[in-house]
Amino acid sequence: MVPEARLLVSELITNSVKYGNGGPVTLEVASERPDKIRVEVIDQGSGFVPAARTKPATEVGGWGLHLVEVLADRWGVHEGSTHVWFELSAGR
């Protein structure tokens, strides 16, 4: 679970720095149980609607949200914002 969490946090922070309009980026990590974590990344971007990757697999970049979708148990975006969250559980 930890390697996946590190990768997804890295991807979301990178997106925040790249697209977040230069404002602060907030990372929140919570765990109510030792086998589950919830991560939220919040930036000052103008918001977006998540969309499936349409680029060819050979093209560099654009894998962040795709990785979140594949690796996370659950994930989402607070509508109209750049507040992305995901949850991971051990033994998935």
Backbone angles phi, psi at 54, to 5 degrees: -115, -5
CB 39 within 8 A of CB 29: yes
pTM for this predicted structure: 0.85
Total count of domains within the chain: 1
Position 66, amino acid: H
Contacts of 52 (CB under 8 A, 6+ apart): 66
Q: Tens digit of pLDDT for each residue in 13-40?
A: 998 888 888 888 999 999 999 999 999 9
* pLDDT given for residue 75 in this prediction: 94
Mean pLDDT of the chain: 88
Q: Tens digit of pLDDT for each residue in 50-65?
A: 776 777 778 887 788 8
Print the domain residue range for 57.
Answer: 2-89
* pLDDT given for residue 52 in this prediction: 65
Residue 41, domain CATH: 3.30.565.10
